[in-house]
Amino acid sequence: MQSLNEEQRRRLVVQYTTEHPGQSNHAIAKYFAEVGVARSTVYAILNRYEEGGEESVLRSAGSGCHRTELKVTNAEVKNIVKDAQRGLSQREIARKFDISQAYVGKILQENGLKAYKKEKVPAVTDQQRERQQVRVGRLYRTILDGRGGDLDLVIDDESYFHMSSQTIPGNSFYYATARGDAPVEKRVSPQKKFGDKILVWLAISRHGASRVYMCHSKTMNKELYANECIRKRLVQFLNEQHSDGNYLFWPDLASCSRCSRTCSGRDRSVPAAGHQLCLEGAESSLRASPSSNRALLGHFEAAGVPS
């Protein structure tokens, strides 16, 4: 049935109705639905058949709307393509040239244009982009080109998750005869200026992940980062998964990761049991020793981080 055209489906419905005069419209629609014809299509054919007979259902030559040619010059086609490439929507272009949106889509398709969804990327300034190039070069020279002696990359990061349900997609509409008729709790959606949130921190490498640190309504600072993240979780993860000391710890650029109480200056930013390379001005790194990663904890103690 799916391969039949519209005219053939109409003829089959009319023929079946004529051969089974005692069946109801519901039974006829159910029969054709089982063979792949939509019920709405069958009901539409039966309604027209009951109102005007077989002639009203079957199309005759010359019936239907006549196709009208929309005259758009070649220059206008080029302008339509340019407008689409500079970001105008099909509706805006259609209003501008007094044509339909469907015709705009057809013109764009004929000229090889397709619609793609914009990608969300972090906002980066020129200065940040330059610093990124420098740090990526350090990372490449340390790990990817083999000079780092088969080091494992260890990275960490934190994120904040809001407790409010406003971030969850849902119904943002309400029904009423007028805007003010519905109750207040139905008409408004309260939002806190500083809502409750959860802080989640995690360190990962190719060997696995550290224990997750989670806390409620707190912002990452140097005390939390040093005590909860580094002391209690990162050191344990390095001792368990990177006891050979062949790792490169690459912290993020948050101020708490680079403060003087977390890392005591540039010269002492590298723990004795591993590499730490992405700090400001760090041009070289010490060779990782095969000793225990407790040296990393001793490094933070020497930096004056409170226990």
The answer to whether residue 295 sits within a structural domain is yes
pTM of the model: 0.50
275 and 134 within one domain: yes
Q: How confident is the model at residue 212 (pLDDT cuts 50, 70, 90)?
A: very high
Give the pLDDT score at 165.
Answer: 66
CA distance 231 to 300: 8
- Select the more confidently predicted residue: 55 or 306: 55
DSSP letter for 254, please. -
Tokens of 217: 């309504």
Say which amino acid occupies 50.
E
160 and 257 within one domain: yes
- Select the more confidently predicted residue: 292 or 302: 302
Q: How confident is the model at residue 92 (pLDDT cuts 50, 70, 90)?
A: very high
Bridge-based pairing of strands 152-162 and 247-250 is parallel
35 and 81 within one domain: no
Give the pLDDT score at 57.
Answer: 75
Give the pLDDT score at 1.
Answer: 56
Judge whether 209 and 202 are in contact, CB under 8 Å.
yes
CA distance 148 to 142: 5
The answer to whether residue 22 sits within a structural domain is yes
Q: How many domains does the chain have?
A: 3
The answer to whether residue 174 sits within a structural domain is no
DSSP letter for 81, please. H
269 and 135 within one domain: yes
pLDDT for residue 49 is more than 60 = yes
CA distance 176 to 229: 51
The answer to whether residue 50 sits within a structural domain is yes
The three-state secondary structure class of 188 is coil
pLDDT digits (tens, 9 = 90+) for 253-277: 766 666 544 554 333 333 333 444 4
44 and 132 within one domain: no
pLDDT digits (tens, 9 = 90+) for 216-232: 877 888 888 989 999 99
295 and 218 within one domain: yes
139 and 245 within one domain: yes
Give the pLDDT score at 169.
Answer: 66
Q: Which has the closest alpha carbon to 84: 97, 73, 71? A: 97
Give the pLDDT score at 288.
Answer: 38
81 and 144 within one domain: no
- Provide the sign of the torsion angle of the four alpha carbons 198, 128, 138, 150, taken in this order: positive
Tokens of 41: 């299509």
pLDDT digits (tens, 9 = 90+) for 131-186: 888 988 887 877 766 555 577 889 999 998 888 766 666 667 777 777 777 788 77
The answer to whether residue 187 sits within a structural domain is no
247 and 150 within one domain: yes
Least confident of 63-67, 125-129, 169-173: 63-67
The answer to whether residue 172 sits within a structural domain is no
Cα–Cα–Cα angle for 57, 60, 62, rounded to 5 degrees = 135
The answer to whether residue 115 sits within a structural domain is no
236 and 91 within one domain: no
12 and 95 within one domain: no
CA distance 180 to 158: 43
Q: Which domain holds residue 297?
A: 126-166+195-302
Judge whether 247 and 205 are in contact, CB under 8 Å.
yes
- The C-alpha torsion from 212 through 214 and 218 to 219, rounded to 10°, is 20
DSSP letter for 2, please. T
Bridge-based pairing of strands 208-209 and 213-216 is unpaired
The answer to whether residue 190 sits within a structural domain is no
228 and 158 within one domain: yes
CA distance 196 to 120: 25
